[in-house]
Structure 1
Amino acid sequence: MRTFRQRRAGAVALACAVLAWPAAWADDASPAGLWKNIDDATGKPRALIRITESAGTLQGKIEKVFPAPGESQNPKCEKCEGENKDAPIVGLVILSELKKDGDAYAGGQILDPDNGKVYRSKLQLIDGGKKLSVRGYIGMPLLGRSQTWVRQE
């Protein structure tokens, strides 16, 4: 027969587990963190993007690139316009102005450094927060393309 002390210890352990679970879940409930971008054509990693949140708005900046053989080790955004013209890809802000919209983040923009174009964007966590569906589009979300990024932290 279990003693009162054993039952109390079990209850305390259960309470700690129940209270800790939402905190662990909350970490995956936000896109904030480090993400690996996979090339659509080759299936190989292209970059690591750090997404941060400030005042309810998400921003994503390239932290590292994985150039293919023969590509520059320090690529620049040659096709970008304005302040991003010829800016180094590493350090480039490619996601901006995304705000929580239901279970997604929308209303922002994504920059494609390969073609220098800026698209409207929508992000949604999938696979329990381990992956991120990133959609860039013109006009309506139906007119665009999606990528799946993989969480690195």
Structure 2
Amino acid sequence: MKKYILFSILIWAFGANLNAQEGIFGKWRCTNHDGKVNSIVRIYQKDDGEVCGKVVRILKEEDRDKICTECEGDLKNKPIEGLQLMHGLQKDGNEYSGGEIINPKSGKIYKVKIWVDEDQPDKLNVRGYVAFFFKTMTWDRAD
């Protein structure tokens, strides 16, 4: 019985450690200003170390075919589902910063930094900012 309890504790600790090691990487449920989940974004690292984020799923089926009409350049008229909306992030201590994020609805580009909440490792803080003004959103880890 003692071996079973010890084994259970080790499995639980290993699982908690794996979740902590995931850090920012993985899939995140993105919420709108009303708190409603509208998409899933995958945060990943490229071979050169750059960290990016890509919309992997729009939850409302009727919105899945929407395109980024307000975007400029290479992103103009690209489907939002599949869009790389975040790029250029580099590790800076416990945060990733130095990148940009685009709002597909407005086409506006913001500087961005992201970090996992210290007390809640399944919460990702995403801060978009221009000069001194910023807004921080909290995304939840998706399974």
| Shorter-chain TM-score range | 0.7 to 0.9
Q: How far 1:129 moved relative to its partner?
A: 1.5
Say yes or no: does 1:50 pair with 2:42: yes
Deviations 1:69-127 (A, max 9, x none): xx644110000001111100011001111111111111111011011011100101014
Say yes or no: does 1:81 pair with 2:33: no
Structure 1 residue matching 2:120: 3-state secondary structure: helix
1:110 to 97, 101, 104: 101
Instruction: Indicate the residue corresponding to 2:14 in structure 1.
Output: 20
Gaps of at least 5 residues in structure 1 are 1-5
TM-score by length of 2: 0.83
**Count of residue pairs brought into register by the alignment:** 140
1:147 to 106, 112, 137: 137
Q: Give me the CA root mean square deviation.
A: 2.7
Question: Aligned partners of 1:85 and 1:112: how far apart in 2?
Answer: 12
Question: Aligned partners of 2:116 and 2:21: how far apart in 1?
Answer: 12
Instruction: Indicate the residue corresponding to 1:93 in structure 2.
Output: 84
TM-score by length of 1: 0.78
Instruction: Indicate the residue corresponding to 1:3 in structure 2.
Output: none
1:135 to 103, 121, 127: 127
Question: Aligned partners of 2:64 and 2:12: how far apart in 1?
Answer: 47
Query: Percent identity over the alignment?
Result: 31
Gaps of at least 5 residues in structure 2 are none
Q: How far 1:27 moved relative to its partner?
A: 2.8
1:125 to 97, 116, 129: 116
